[in-house]
Amino acid sequence: MRHTIYLYIISILVLGSCSYYPELESDLDSAITSETLKFIQLGDASRATTALIMYPGGLVDPLAYIDLLNGLTDEDRTVFIVKFPSNLAVIDIDAAKEIRKAFSEIVSWSIIGHSLGGAMACSEVVNNKDVYENLVLLGAYPGGGVDLTDYQGNVLSLYGSNDSFSTPEKVLASKPQFRSTSDILDASEINTLETASYFHEIEGGNHSNFGSYGLQRGDGESNLLKFEQQEITRTFIKALLDE
Amino acid sequence: MRFVTALLICFCSSLSLAQRLTLNTDLYPNFTKDYSRAVILPFGGLSLNYHYRIKGQNLASGLNFRSIAWGNEVSVDQEIILPIIDGQRIILTNVNTVHFSYPLFYNKQSIGFGLSSRLQIASIKLKRFRFYGGVRFSYNNVYGEISQNAALIEGRVGTSFVLRH
- Interface check for B8 against chain A (CB to CB < 8 A): the answer is yes
What is the predicted pLDDT for the residue at A6? 65
Residues 6 or more apart whose CB falls under 8 angstroms from that of A62 comprise A40, A54, A56, A81, A82, A83, A84, A87
Q: Could you say which of A6, A63, A99 has the minimum Cβ distance to residue B23?
A: A6
Q: Is the pLDDT of residue B2 over 60?
A: no
Q: What percent of chain A has pLDDT over 90?
A: 81
Q: Would the CB atoms of B8 and A11 count as touching at under 8 Å?
A: yes
Q: Is the pLDDT of residue A126 over 70?
A: yes
Q: Rounded to a whole number, what is the distance in Å from the CA of B106 to chain A's nearest CA?
A: 6
Q: Is the pLDDT of residue A33 over 90?
A: no
What is the predicted pLDDT for the residue at B11? 56
Identify the DSSP state of A89.
G
Q: Is the pLDDT of residue A13 over 90?
A: no
- Interface check for A10 against chain B (CB to CB < 8 A): the answer is yes
Q: Rounded to a whole number, what is the distance in Å from the CA of B36 to chain A's nearest CA?
A: 8
- Range A96-119 average pLDDT: 94
CA distance B144 to A67: 18
Q: Phi and psi (nearest 5°) for A206?
A: -130, -170
What is the predicted pLDDT for the residue at B125? 87
What is the predicted pLDDT for the residue at A195? 74
Question: What 3-state class would DSSP assign to A102?
Answer: helix
Which is more confidently placed, B3 or B128?
A: B128
Q: Would the CB atoms of B72 and A17 count as touching at under 8 Å?
A: yes
Cβ density class B122-161: b for 16+ within 10 Å, e for less: beeeeeeebebebebebbbebbeebbebbbbebbbebebe
* Weakest-pLDDT range from A38-47, A175-184, B80-89: A38-47
Q: Rounded to a whole number, what is the distance in Å from the CA of B85 to chain A's nearest CA?
A: 30
Rounded to whole angstroms, what are the CA distances from B71 to A66, A218, A239, B6? 17, 21, 33, 21
* Weakest-pLDDT range from A7-11, A42-46, A159-163, A185-189: A7-11
Q: Rounded to a whole number, what is the distance in Å from the CA of B134 to chain A's nearest CA?
A: 20
Residue of chain B minimizing CA distance to A27: B146
Specify the pairing of strand A50-55 against strand A108-114: parallel
- This complex has an ipTM of 0.87
How many C-beta atoms lie closer than 10 Å to residue B55's C-beta? 5
Residue of chain B minimizing CA distance to A58: B71
Rounded to whole angstroms, what are the CA distances from A216 to A83, A165, A211, B43, B72? 19, 10, 10, 26, 18
What is the predicted pLDDT for the residue at B8? 58
Q: Could you say which of B11, B32, B43 has the minimum Cβ distance to residue A85?
A: B43
Q: Rounded to a whole number, what is the distance in Å from the CA of B99 to chain A's nearest CA?
A: 16
CA distance B20 to B51: 5
For the stretch A83-95, pLDDT in tens is: 999 999 999 999 9
Residue of chain B minimizing CA distance to A34: B148
- Interface check for A19 against chain B (CB to CB < 8 A): the answer is yes
For the stretch A112-122, pLDDT in tens is: 999 999 999 99
E strand or H helix that includes residue A168: helix A168-173
Q: How many residues in chain B?
A: 165
Q: Is the pLDDT of residue A127 over 90?
A: yes
Q: Would the CB atoms of A214 and B107 count as touching at under 8 Å?
A: yes
What is the predicted pLDDT for the residue at B164? 76
Size of interface A-B (CB pairs under 8 A): 107
What is the predicted pLDDT for the residue at A80? 97
Q: Would the CB atoms of B104 and A17 count as touching at under 8 Å?
A: yes
Q: Would the CB atoms of B146 and A102 count as touching at under 8 Å?
A: no
What is the predicted pLDDT for the residue at A82? 96
Please list every residue in chain B whose beta carbon sits closer than 8 Å to the beta carbon of residue A214.
Answer: 107
Q: Would the CB atoms of B106 and A23 count as touching at under 8 Å?
A: no
What is the predicted pLDDT for the residue at A198? 96
Q: Let me know: does B154 contact B135? Beta carbons within 8 Å.
A: yes
E strand or H helix that includes residue A198: strand A197-202
For the stretch A198-221, pLDDT in tens is: 999 999 999 999 999 999 999 999
What is the predicted pLDDT for the residue at A41? 94
Q: Phi and psi (nearest 5°) for A236?
A: -70, -40
Please list every residue in chain A whose beta carbon sits closer than 8 Å to the beta carbon of residue B70.
Answer: 19, 61
